[in-house]
Amino acid sequence: MEDNSGAKNEAAVKRVAQLVNDALQRRDGVTMNQIALYSGVNVGYLSRIRRGKLSSPPSPDVLRRLAPHLKVPYEELLRAAGYIENVDRVPQDLHIFLRAKDELPPEEFRELVNFAMWKLQQHRNGPPEA
């Protein structure tokens, strides 16, 4: 069976590159270096995003940090990257998780992530045998 994930990643990378490139061109007087600085995204990585030179789309966190500085809705970037299918239905849980990352101290956020990973592992292993 042929793996289609490579083609999907390539298409998503191209869609994100187009959005980022268009947004940067519209931001008259704002340089790519400034966008990188304000968003906290490495300028070299931003350049690779813009040119579509990635093996997979940028993470939701990178897209979230770029969105306000590019003046592109976060949901539109998520959709272009293939993380969501419908721009009108961003999962509430994703927003909560991203808010938690911004608002919780790093050690508390790490606890949240560890708990989520533990729950996923439990789910994968199935219910304990009695």
Q: Cα dihedral sign for 25, 30, 54, 109?
A: negative
- For residue 12, with 0-12 CB atoms within 10 Å meaning exposed, 13-18 middle and 19 or more buried, which class applies? buried
**Contact (Cβ atoms closer than 8 angstroms) between residue 90 and residue 84:** yes
State the residue for tokens 């931001």: 27
What is the pLDDT, as a whole number, of residue 87?
A: 44
Q: Express each pLDDT in 41-100 by its tens digit.
A: 999 999 999 999 999 999 999 999 999 999 998 888 998 999 887 545 556 677 777 778
88 secondary structure, DSSP code = T
> What does the pLDDT average to over 103-120?
86
Query: Which domains, ranges and CATH numbers included, belong to the chain?
Result: 5-81 (1.10.260.40), 92-125 (no CATH)
Residues 6+ away with beta carbon under 8 Å from 91? 84
pTM of the predicted structure, to 2 decimals? 0.63
Give the distance from CA 4 to its chain's centroid: 21
